[in-house]
Amino acid sequence: MRYKIATPLLAAILLLCSGCGWLYESGSAENGTDLVEADLQINDFSYTNQHGETVTNEDLEGEYWLANMVFTRCPTVCNTLTPNMASLQGDLESEGVDATLVSFTVDPEFDDPEQLQSYGESYNADFSNWHFLGGYEEEEIQQLAGDSFMSPVEKAPEQNDIIHSTNFFLINPEGQVIRQYDGLDNDVDRIIDDIEALQS
């Protein structure tokens, strides 16, 4: 099902909340927000990462992975989200926790592989287990965000910005989105604790 803004009023609210992250929540858990009951499944996808390599949802099956949404010319929240994801990557490695990171660009027309690689390098991303994905149309990321994460992706031209979620999402080996975390909060311990508990 294609994700659409239901009413002009809701669209106006989203524009006012540019970059602030508006999405479905289904009950709080001690570590993040539990989304199991929402039964959100990752849509099938075949996208291109920062090295021009194809990455599909099937490539990620059988493991826990974390996803978020960013874009390289983001004037606001991505300047916090991406450093926090980089911090999480470092802590996951230090703790010996195996998890892949995936950042979907919400600005695919501009964010080609070269842009995504440069962006990742600027935050010292370890590309061995962090994919910055693009290579799709704007409508595709809108549908993926809506269907899989219950999150909007909408342009806010007045602010030269794009509305997108500020959460990190944890996906299980079966492709179900099971938790969300505040990506603007650099408390990575709760994410690591969750993954460790699930992998044990």
pTM: 0.86
Give strand pairing partners of 163: 154
What are the binding residues for Cu cation? 74, 78, 164
pLDDT, position 155: 92
In Å, how far are 110, 156, 185 from 73, measured between CA atoms?
9, 13, 21
What are the binding residues? 74, 78, 164
pLDDT, position 160: 85
Confirm if 120 and 86 have CB atoms less than 8 A apart: no
Instruction: Indicate the burial class of 6 (C-beta count within 10 angstroms; 0-12, 13-18, 19 or more).
Output: exposed
pLDDT, position 5: 38
As its CATH architecture, domain 22-199 has 3-Layer(aba) Sandwich (3.40)
Confirm if 170 and 178 have CB atoms less than 8 A apart: yes
In the chain, pLDDT over 70 holds for what percent of residues?
84
Could you tell me how many residues make up the chain? 200
Angle at 130 between CA 58 and CA 107, to 5 degrees: 85
The whole-angstrom separation of Cα 5 and Cα 43 is 19
pLDDT, position 21: 41
Question: In the chain, which stretches have pLDDT less than 70?
Answer: 1-31
How confident is the model over 10-49, as pLDDT tens digits?
Answer: 333 333 343 444 333 333 344 589 999 999 999 999 999 9
Confirm if 130 and 89 have CB atoms less than 8 A apart: yes
